[in-house]
Amino acid sequence: MHEENELSERRAAQLEENRVRVLDDMARAARAAGREPGDVRLVAVSKRHPASDIAALCRAGQVDFGENYVQEAAAKQDELASLPVRWHFIGGLQSNKAKFVAGKYALVHSIDSLKLARVLHNKAAALGVVQQGLLQVSLCGEEQKSGTTADGLEALMEQVLELDHLRIVGLMTMPFVCGDAEEVRPVFARLRTLRDALEQRFGVDLPELSMGMTGDFVQAVQEGATLVRIGTRIFGPRD
Ligand SMILES: *Cc1c(COP(=O)(O)O)cnc(C)c1O
């Protein structure tokens, strides 16, 4: 028992240290780009890591957590129901599972089709809530299956604007990184440009840009990310 406590204390200290380092790097990247560190939020991506890790980070002040898998996340949400966690759904989402997501997450990052948007909307309407979400855009061509294309984005936005129980507050992208993180910098800049164009076209506010992961969050912050989604740098490798 004693040994177990010591282990979990050591794990908690490590997670906290990793988090502080990431926050430092985020702040430095923001300042380098003339932005306020407070304008970028860290979403700790806890998929495939235990609820105890989330609890430890939550005690250290981390609020936002990202999950990818509906069932895994639901179990953690139940276990941690008493903690002030703000849950983000960031994974690929099939529309037949969307009813388990609507109303249970502060933000759904991965809305990439009208069909999915409609299911989220309908479930949110049934619950009497408004679900906040981001449109996921695929900007890297063929390798990437998830996300609407840049060409399809305007049409999708026009249609989701009619769904009054779904509020789109920005865009998300997950570039396919193969080499240097600098290679994806133009992708992040492109997402920002697309956001600006949508705001103009529809006269709406889209303040959130969800972009940047362990390997490329510095570039993403410099290009305007408001939400970075970081797993490995905080929790270590996943099985
Ligand atoms: C897993 C995942 C992340 C975190 O990736 P790391 O490289 O571990 O930081 C971010 N965004 C999405 C959509 C993910 O699926």
| pLDDT digit string, tens, across residues 175-196 | 876 668 888 999 999 999 999 9
Whose Cα sits closest to atom 15 in ligand 1?
Answer: 91
Q: Is residue 58 within 8 Å of 82, Cβ to Cβ?
A: no
- Ligand 1: residue of 41, 213, 218 to mutate (most ligand atoms within 8 A of CB) is 213
pLDDT for 21 equals 98
- Does residue 231 line the site of ligand 1, with CB under 6 A? yes
Once rounded to an integer, what is the mean pLDDT over residues 209-214? Answer: 97
- Does residue 174 line the site of ligand 1, with CB under 6 A? yes
Q: What spacing in Å lies between the alpha carbon of 213 and ligand 1's midpoint?
A: 6
- Does residue 90 line the site of ligand 1, with CB under 6 A? yes
Class of domain 2-235 (CATH, top level): alpha beta
Alpha carbons 117 and 166: distance in angstroms, whole number: 8
Chain centroid to CA 103:
16
pLDDT digits (tens, 9 = 90+) for 72-125: 999 999 999 999 999 999 999 999 999 999 999 999 999 999 999 999 999 999
β-pair type (148-149, 131-138): parallel
pLDDT for 142 equals 59
Q: State the CB neighbour count (10 A cutoff) for residue 182.
A: 10
Annotate 110-132 with DSSP letters as a single string: EE-SHHHHHHHHHHHHHHT--EE
pLDDT for 197 equals 98
Q: What spacing in Å lies between the alpha carbon of 238 and ligand 1's midpoint?
A: 11
- Ligand 1: residue of 22, 45, 234 to mutate (most ligand atoms within 8 A of CB) is 45
CA angle 116, 43, 163 (to 5 degrees): 25
What length does the chain have? Answer: 239
Q: Where are the domains of the chain?
A: 2-235
pLDDT for 156 equals 98
pLDDT for 1 equals 60
Examine the pLDDT at 143 and tell me if it is beyond 80.
no
pLDDT digits (tens, 9 = 90+) for 11-61: 999 999 999 999 999 999 999 999 999 999 999 999 999 999 999 999 999
- Does residue 213 line the site of ligand 1, with CB under 6 A? yes
- Does residue 91 line the site of ligand 1, with CB under 6 A? yes
Once rounded to an integer, what is the mean pLDDT over residues 194-221? Answer: 98
Q: What spacing in Å lies between the alpha carbon of 3 and ligand 1's midpoint?
A: 32
- Does residue 232 line the site of ligand 1, with CB under 6 A? yes
Q: Is residue 110 within 8 Å of 98, Cβ to Cβ?
A: no
Once rounded to an integer, what is the mean pLDDT over residues 118-143? Answer: 92
